[in-house]
C-alpha cells in the first residue's frame, strides 16, 4: 500500500475513532438510552409525540360542543405582516397555507367563527404543545393552591422537595420557577451536552432535575428561559397532590372544559413515567381552544367554575410598561412582551393586554380579553413571518368590529352555517 494511501486512511479513521469514543464516553457519563435518543432523533419535531411513551388523558364525561358561525370570507381578510424586516400582505387563508400552519381556529364568545386545517392536517390530527405545556403547568399550580395542596407561590421549593432541605436550592421559591427567574444554571449548546437536550431527551427527568443543583449568580434576577423550572413544578405537583400530573390535569381541567377527544401527555420513559412538563401535551385542536375560552370566561366554562379569576389575572398579565433590563440578553429583549407565570402578555392595538401560551415551531394559544377572542395556531414551523403576535393583534383589531355587528361579515352565510353548526368542522 502506498504511503499516501495509508496516510489518507489514517486521516479518515481518526475522526471516526474519535466520534465512537465520544459516544462511548458520553454513554457512560449520561446513559446509553439518552445518547441514542439524541443521535437517532436529533432536533425536536412536531411528530415527537410518536417517539415518547405517553399517559392517556380521557375525554370529558360532559363534552362541550361549540356553536359554529363560520364564514369563508374570513380567509380573504388581508393580513399585513413582516418577514425579515420587509412588509408583506396576503389573504389570511393563503398566508396560513404558506407559513406551514396546520390548524387555525378563532373562537368568539361561545362560537367558533373560523376553523381551518392546512398542509395535510384535519380536525382529527394530533398536535403537540411544545412549550405551551408550561402555561398549562402554571394553571395546574393555581389549581393545586386552590385545592389546598400548595400554600403559596412564595414557598420554598424545598417545602415539597425534601432533597433540597439544607441546600442552596432552598432559597428558590415556586414563584421563581413560574417567573423563570431562579438562579438555577441552564446552558444551551450542541448535541447531548446542553441542558436543552438533557431536559428533552433524558429517560429519567426526575433524577436529572433533582441532581441538577448548580446555581449561578449571572442571572441576577433577570428572566432566563430554563426547562428545569417546569420539571421542578411537575415534581412539586406530584408530591403535593399525590397524583400523576396528567391525572390531575384530566381531573381538574380536561374533563371540566368538556374535551371531546382523548389527549395524552408524553413521558420521559415507560420505566419512570414522568410527564415531560416542558413540552409534551398532545391534543386535537378544537379541545385546546376550550382552555382559552375558559380563561376568557374568568375561569368558568362548561357550567363549572374551573379556576379562580384572581389566579388567572395574577398568572397571565405582566406589569406594563416593562422593565427592559429584566429581559436583556433573552429572546424577549425589546419585544414589548412580558413573561409572568409561564404566560406571555403584550399590549394590543387598543392599549389593553392580550396574553398567550407559546411553543416551539409556532404553537400559539392567544387570548384577547377586550375582544373576547381566542386564537389557536399550530404549525410544522414558525413559517416565513417575523411575529405571529402581531398577526394575532391585527386579526383581533379587524375582526372585533364585525363581531359586534355580525351582519357585516356573516350576512351571506349565516343561514347556511346555522344548518351546518353540528358538522360544520
Please state the length of the chain.
425
Residues 77-131 have pLDDT tens digits of: 999 999 999 999 999 999 999 999 999 999 998 899 999 999 999 999 999 999 9
> Does residue 420 surpass a pLDDT of 50?
no
Look at 10-14, 326-330, 331-335 and tell me which has the smallest mean pLDDT: 10-14
Q: 370 is written with which cell numbers?
A: 377586550
- What's the whole-number mean pLDDT along residues 149-178? 97
Count of Cβ atoms closer than 10 Å to residue 285 Cβ: 24
| Inter-residue contact 265 to 282 (CB < 8 Å) | yes
The domains of the chain, with CATH numbers, are 69-126+283-419 (3.40.710.10)
248's CB contacts (< 8 A; 6+ apart) are 140, 143, 144, 237, 241
Cβ pair 45, 127 in contact under 8 A? no
The β-bridge relationship of strands 101-108 and 373-379 is antiparallel
Mean pLDDT, residues 155-163 taken together: 98
Amino acid at each position: 500500500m502506498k504511503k499516501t494511501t495509508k496516510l489518507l486512511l489514517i486521516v479518515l479513521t481518526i475522526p471516526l475513532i474519535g466520534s465512537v469514543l465520544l459516544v462511548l464516553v458520553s454513554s457512560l457519563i449520561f446513559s446509553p438510552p439518552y445518547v441514542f435518543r439524541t443521535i437517532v432523533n436529533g432536533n425536536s419535531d412536531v411528530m415527537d409525540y410518536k417517539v415518547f411513551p405517553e399517559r392517556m388523558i380521557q375525554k370529558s364525561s360532559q363534552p362541550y360542543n361549540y356553536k359554529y358561525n363560520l364564514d369563508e370570507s374570513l380567509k380573504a381578510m388581508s393580513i399585513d405582516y413582516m418577514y425579515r424586516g420587509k412588509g408583506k400582505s396576503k389573504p389570511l387563508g393563503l398566508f396560513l397555507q404558506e407559513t406551514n400552519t396546520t390548524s387555525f381556529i378563532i373562537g368568539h364568545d361561545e362560537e367558533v367563527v373560523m376553523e381551518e386545517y392546512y398542509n395535510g392536517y384535519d380536525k382529527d390530527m394530533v398536535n403537540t404543545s411544545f412549550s405551551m405545556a408550561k402555561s398549562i403547568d402554571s394553571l395546574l399550580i393555581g389549581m393545586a393552591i386552590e385545592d389546598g395542596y400548595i400554600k403559596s407561590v412564595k414557598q420554598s421549593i424545598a417545602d415539597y422537595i425534601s432533597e433540597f432541605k439544607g441546600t442552596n436550592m432552598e432559597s428558590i421559591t415556586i414563584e421563581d420557577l413560574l417567573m423563570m427567574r431562579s438562579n438555577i444554571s441552564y446552558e444551551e449548546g450542541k448535541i447531548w451536552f446542553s441542558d436543552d437536550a438533557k431536559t428533552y431527551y433524558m429517560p429519567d427527568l426526575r433524577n436529572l432535575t433533582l441532581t441538577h443543583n448548580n446555581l449561578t449568580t449571572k442571572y441576577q434576577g433577570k428572566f432566563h428561559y430554563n426547562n428545569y423550572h417546569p420539571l421542578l413544578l411537575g415534581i412539586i405537583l406530584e408530591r403535593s397532590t399525590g397524583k400523576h400530573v396528567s391525572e390531575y390535569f384530566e381531573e381538574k381541567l380536561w374533563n371540566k372544559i368538556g374535551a371531546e377527544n382523548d389527549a395524552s401527555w408524553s413521558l420521559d420513559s415507560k420505566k419512570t413515567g414522568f410527564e415531560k412538563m416542558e413540552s409534551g401535551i398532545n391534543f386535537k385542536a378544537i379541545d385546546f381552544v376550550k382552555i382559552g375560552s375558559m380563561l376568557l370566561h374568568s375561569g368558568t366554562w362548561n357550567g363549572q367554575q374551573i379556576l379562580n379569576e384572581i389566579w388567572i389575572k395574577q398568572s397571565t398579565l405582566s406589569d406594563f410598561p416593562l422593565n427592559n433590563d429584566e429581559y436583556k440578553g433573552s429572546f424577549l429583549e425589546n419585544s414589548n412582551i412580558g413573561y409572568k407565570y409561564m404566560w406571555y402578555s403584550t399590549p394590543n392595538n387598543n392599549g389593553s393586554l392580550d396574553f398567550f401560551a407559546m411553543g416551539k415551531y409556532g404553537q400559539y394559544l392567544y387570548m384577547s380579553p377586550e375582544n373576547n377572542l381566542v386564537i389557536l395556531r399550530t404549525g410544522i414551523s414558525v413559517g416565513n413571518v417575523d411575529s405571529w403576535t402581531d398577526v394575532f393583534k391585527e386579526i383581533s383589531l379587524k375582526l372585533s368590529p364585525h363581531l359586534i355587528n355580525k351582519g357585516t361579515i356573516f350576512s351571506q352565510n349565516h343561514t347556511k352555517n346555522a344548518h351546518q353548526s353540528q358538522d360544520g368542522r
